[in-house]
Amino acid sequence: MDQLQYEANRSKNCLIESSVSERLQSEPCWLGVDEAGRGPVLGPMVYGICFSPIADKEKLTELKFADSKTLSEEQRESLFSQINESLHMLGWMVEILSPTYISTSMLSREKYNLNALSHDCAIRLIKQALNRGVNVSEVYVDTVGDATKYQAKLQDIFPNISITVSKKADSLFPIVSAASICAKVARDQAVKNWKFQENISLKEPDYGSGYPGDPKTKKFLEESFDKVFGFPSFVRYSWSTASQIIDKKGVSVLWEDDDDENENKGTPTLTQFFNKKDIKPELVRNRFFTQRQLHHVTSL
């Protein structure tokens, strides 16, 4: 998988896609959606889709796709090669979501949680397939969050497409399994080829699976942490595992504004200098009442 565009700037998301054959544009197709790397504290998350003519469902079953998590890296690479050798009946797309994008999204002023981020990525990929002319008539999605609500959301956006959102869809539908393989191969490659723009040197280059509970991942987080600058961009600093290390070992920062706010309590604001000093603002009646010569009435 050619990831040169992503490797040129790993702080940005990147869309990678196969060619789309004429069959995929002329015949009704089913499309599967799945992700890889949702849970790890390290590296990107990748969403993938795969699509094929509905008439070839049995042929797809013969390729023996399975949930990518149940396969070895070698098996995934082999199946991905088979997908690329079958582009007359298959097509795929992946979007690599950078760790920086994930962290800044989740920590933004307007909260953008991982479920919403995942939903939006899946929707973008389906729309991209439609924009490429793929004749999508059925969509199968491995659920994120409540399957019923997610399915209703997708059905509203794509009313002319049959939508199925299910738990363990990557084990139930071969087209979702194929999407899972594409996503996992893309993430494996992105993590394996990662170059640290911070030019850090590691005692051991093996940072494990990237999951917070992995001892190698924990060791990497400890060794790569800088007390002032925090973690390299490879780390999703929005994860509690990372934020706890920052709170515990990072240097506390006191911003100048914090001191100014304390020192300037009671200091008049700029607008107060333009008020007449002998008039209390709370006693000045609104112009609406004075122009109409309206007065308080205490008795009738």
Annotated binding site for a divalent metal cation: which residue ranges? 34-35, 142
Structure tokens belonging to residue 144: 């994120």
Per the CB < 8 A criterion, the answer to whether 224 and 232 are in contact is yes
| Residue set of the binding site | 34-35, 142
Q: Which residue has the tokens 């659920």?
A: 143
Other CB atoms within a 10 A radius of the CB of residue 193 amount to 11
- Give the amino acid at 176: V
Quote helix, strand, coil % in the chain, to nearest 5: 45, 15, 40
45, 14 Cβ separation under 8 angstroms: no
Other beta carbons within 10 angstroms of residue 125's beta carbon come to 22
Strand pairing class (45-53; 91-97): antiparallel
- CA 67 to CA 277: how far, in whole Å? 75
Q: What angle do CA 73, 77, 82 make, to 5 degrees?
A: 150
Q: Going by DSSP bridges, is the β-strand pair 14-17/91-97 parallel, antiparallel, or unpaired?
A: antiparallel
